Amino acid sequence: MKTELMCGRLVTLSKHLLQFSPSSPSLFKNPVISACSSTKTHEAFITVEPQVGLYDEVVKIHCHRFPTGVKITLHGEVENDRKNIFASCGYYSTDHNGHIDVTAQSSQGGTYTGVEPMGIFWSLKPAPGQPPTSRLIIKDTERPCIFRLRAYLGHLSLASIYSQPVSQLEILASLNVERWVKGKDVTRLEIEEGRVRGVLYLPKGEGPFQGVIDMFGANGGVIEYRAALLASRGFAALCLPYFKFKDLPKDLSTLDYDYFEEAINWLSSHPKVHSQGIGVVATSKGVENALFMGAYSPKISAVVCINGYPFVTAGDLTSKGQVLLKGAQMSLDHMLITDEGLDLRAAYPVQSEIIPIWKGKAKYLILSSMDDFQINSNLHEELLAACPEEKKKDIEVVQYTGAGHLLEPPFNPLCRTTINPAYGIVLKFGGQPLDHARAQVDSWKRILEFLRKNIPTE
């Protein structure tokens, strides 16, 4: 089930209503390209439309001229920047014409089942023999993520596929698919303005565009792929690091609000950005930053919070040397050690000082995953309880059953457990693959609509 709280009213929708729907038309106007370069008309081949496109686009996969009435395994594979391999597979049967239409036919097994046009992408997981803590994250936005598709005769498990040399597998057809987070007309600019560090992504044209600051969590550094994708969908997006990057602080012992205010002022005064107000999108630790930016800056109009705390954690929030908000301290006694990593849902005291978002004018979209093992998914109740009644109308809360901590743009595979590079610890993120995939599609659509509606353009 997906639970949605709007203006204090609880609405429950059936999970089956969350169906995948095509995104905007491709920004890469390429023809359908087959895997078969031979001119022989009897050879089997795969087509994907679009074969080159944006990461959040739905694709159509078809298999042609295969043997009739046989079992086929469709196998997907991709590597991250560390050369860790992720794999998926679906089991299909060809029709009387030797054809498979992945958009209409059910997978009978593998890493996903049922009619799942994008199942080969969202059900990816670390391949046999790969580190289970691997995360598929795109670090170089100037290059595509290359997905390799292969079709094998028979129904083969991933264990079977990876236990033998490729030369021993009966491959009927193969094809590479390019998925980009950065549209071909999007410009990437590294930013060093005053104290502000980051990367700005701009759509094609003179603008002005709706501006968005994008932040992630306690990994530190820059994670650019979402900002690149936001720019591909029409926003001027500033990927804003706040520690462990260049000359920024090395840790989270303190947070300086003045740094974030400087970033707000810089982006909102950019000649290609609408100056009447900007938005913020943030995940995990970044949510705290987004909330206090909305609370203290009149230039913030729209805030998207993805699985984060409504209070400051770790170090204090300061401004001009004075403490604005005390940082809640983690309790080691309330951490739970599991087979998949640390469960931190009860690690921070609920009675911490709530960030006073009612002091600002921003509207809020709060996205909460019910199977998140890093954040207590009901902490939004503490935020709502602290808000005056008139502010609650500006807050929309959407909860997703079965989704894990790391809600990302559509079709990126679930990351259930990972290593935090800043601290070297294994964390349990949680989530169930299908529920998580549904939540990512729904939440991304909501994020884009929310930003377009609530960032002023006049």
Alpha-carbon Rg for the chain, nearest whole angstrom, is 23
Asked whether residue 246 falls in the same domain as residue 305, the answer is yes
Domain holding 51, by residue range, is 33-180
* Confidence at residue 28, expressed as pLDDT on a 0 to 100 scale: 55
275 in a structural domain: yes
* Confidence at residue 278, expressed as pLDDT on a 0 to 100 scale: 99
382 in a structural domain: yes
**Residue 218 belongs to a domain with what CATH number?**
3.40.50.1820
CA nearest 274: which of 227, 303, 235? 235
Asked whether residue 406 falls in the same domain as residue 373, the answer is yes
Q: How far apart are CA 135 and CA 49, in angstroms?
A: 26
Q: How far apart are CA 173 and CA 286, in angstroms?
A: 44
411 in a structural domain: yes
Asked whether residue 243 falls in the same domain as residue 332, the answer is yes
Question: Quick one: tokens of 369?
Answer: 């995953």
Asked whether residue 444 falls in the same domain as residue 373, the answer is yes
Q: What are 430-443's pLDDT values in tens digits?
A: 999 999 999 999 99
Query: H/E element holding 9?
Result: strand 9-13
What is the domain count for the chain? 2
Q: Are 58 and 185 in contact (CB under 8 A)?
A: no
Catalytic residue among 107, 284, 301, 443: 284
Q: Are 209 and 202 in contact (CB under 8 A)?
A: yes
22 in a structural domain: no
Specify burial of residue 453 (Cβ count, 10 A radius: 0-12, 13-18, 19+): exposed
Q: How far apart are CA 450 and CA 166, in angstroms?
A: 46
* 8, 316, 320 from 355: Cα distances, Å: 19, 12, 18
**Residue 115 belongs to a domain with what CATH number?**
2.60.40.2240
412 in a structural domain: yes
* Confidence at residue 3, expressed as pLDDT on a 0 to 100 scale: 53
Domain boundary residue among 180, 212, 233?
Answer: 180
0.85 exceeded by pTM: yes
309 in a structural domain: yes
Establish whether 372 is a catalytic residue: yes
Establish whether 284 is a catalytic residue: yes
Q: What are 141-151's pLDDT values in tens digits?
A: 999 999 999 99
202 in a structural domain: yes
Residues of the chain with pLDDT under 70: 1-42
Characterize the bridge pairing of strands 395-400 and 363-369. Answer: parallel
Catalytic residue among 214, 405, 435, 442: 405
Asked whether residue 301 falls in the same domain as residue 424, the answer is yes
Q: How far apart are CA 54 and CA 49, in angstroms?
A: 12
Establish whether 442 is a catalytic residue: no
Asked whether residue 41 falls in the same domain as residue 188, the answer is no
Asked whether residue 304 falls in the same domain as residue 222, the answer is yes
Asked whether residue 205 falls in the same domain as residue 252, the answer is yes
Domain boundary residue among 180, 204, 229?
Answer: 180
Asked whether residue 81 falls in the same domain as residue 220, the answer is no
Q: How far apart are CA 351 and CA 336, in angstroms?
A: 20
Asked whether residue 270 falls in the same domain as residue 411, the answer is yes
Asked whether residue 231 falls in the same domain as residue 286, the answer is yes
CA nearest 279: which of 347, 331, 226? 226
Catalytic residue among 372, 394, 435, 442: 372
Asked whether residue 365 falls in the same domain as residue 232, the answer is yes
**Using the 8-state DSSP alphabet, how is residue 358 labeled?**
G
26 in a structural domain: no
Q: What are 314-342's pLDDT values in tens digits?
A: 899 999 999 999 999 999 899 999 999 99
Domain boundary residue among 123, 149, 180?
Answer: 180
